[in-house]
Amino acid sequence: MRTRPGVRSALTLVSLALGLLALPGSAHAEPSAGDLATARNALKDGLALREKGDLVGALGRFTTAFDLVQTPVTGFELGKTHLLMGHVMQAHEMFQKIGRIPPALEESERSAAARSEAIRLTSDLEPRIPTLRIRVKLPPGATATVRIDDDAIVTAGAVTPRAVDPGKHVVVARAGEGPEERVTIQLAEGETKDVELAPQWIAPKVPEAGKGQVVYLRQTNPLVFVGFIASSVTLTVTGVSAVLAVNAASSAHDGCGRDYCPQFVRDSDITVMRTWIGVTIIGAGATLVLFTLGVVSISKPTTERVVSRVKPYVGPGSAGVVGTF
């Protein structure tokens, strides 16, 4: 497909405008070389797609360009595409944002023209934005949640005005646990319409006093800590007694001859040796038993029974439960 001269000129000016982004003071945060190159390509692709009539594809590419490098040029093309798609409110917001972008030190004519046109369109689009005036009728003390096209909104006072784009919108209201009430409405540019909703109020169920949901909490068995700590202690005692037994045996060996061992040696060193050997055997057995207790207890956590008390909460624009354990 041949590109018209006007489009070629626009592409050239866009490339020049984005090239100026590399100069100091041209953006809030200095974009990287990759950001600049990607934004240029996205902007060119968006212009080509829009020329072919693919507004959805063009919108995606312009959004990418503006997210990477926010300049009057990228913002204007994005806002213009929103406007061509009938997104009057979104185009208005984008043009407002362009007016808040600080001018670059050496701003190109293309950027200056985009900024000037965006400011003009901001004023022109203001009266074209449709408005919904939402009224929710509820009994005293009741509350409701309201959504427009699946987006929750906060209602305040008797009437809640809400700016929307032209086209079809679905307004949904729900009071407590009552059924949803839906209203579908069509708005033209600059039109204001009232929407009255009177959803059936059904109070959320409150659990009976003193009762609640039973929750079982699994916790580590205390015997795990008892077994491991006690086995560590007995292991230490076993080690010390083994060393003392070896020392007593060495001393008895030195005091006894090859064929005869004096009585005092048998009464002192050999008796001490036998005593510490006994302590060592007992300590080793205790260590094994306590360590086994700790290992087995890991697979048997304790279970604690806890009663939770909760109650539903419904407030302006929010709902949930509150309670204690």
- Residues 248-272 as b/e (b if ≥16 CB within 10 A, e otherwise) read bbebbeeeeeeeeeeeebeeebbeb
Q: Is 194 helix (H, G, I), strand (E, B) or coil?
A: strand
> Distance between CA atoms of 148 and 201, rounded to whole angstroms?
19
> Distance between CA atoms of 151 and 163, rounded to whole angstroms?
13
pLDDT in tens, the chain (325 residues): 344 444 444 444 444 444 434 333 333 467 899 999 999 999 999 999 999 999 999 999 999 999 999 999 999 999 999 999 999 999 999 999 998 988 877 788 899 899 999 999 999 999 999 999 999 999 998 889 999 998 899 888 889 999 999 999 999 999 989 999 999 999 999 999 999 999 999 988 876 655 556 666 667 777 667 767 877 887 787 788 778 777 777 776 666 666 666 666 565 666 777 787 887 788 778 778 767 766 676 666 666 655 555 555 555 555 555 555 4
pTM for the model stands at 0.52
Paired strand residues for 169:
185
Element (H, E) at 26: none
Other CB atoms within 10 A of residue 67 CB: 14
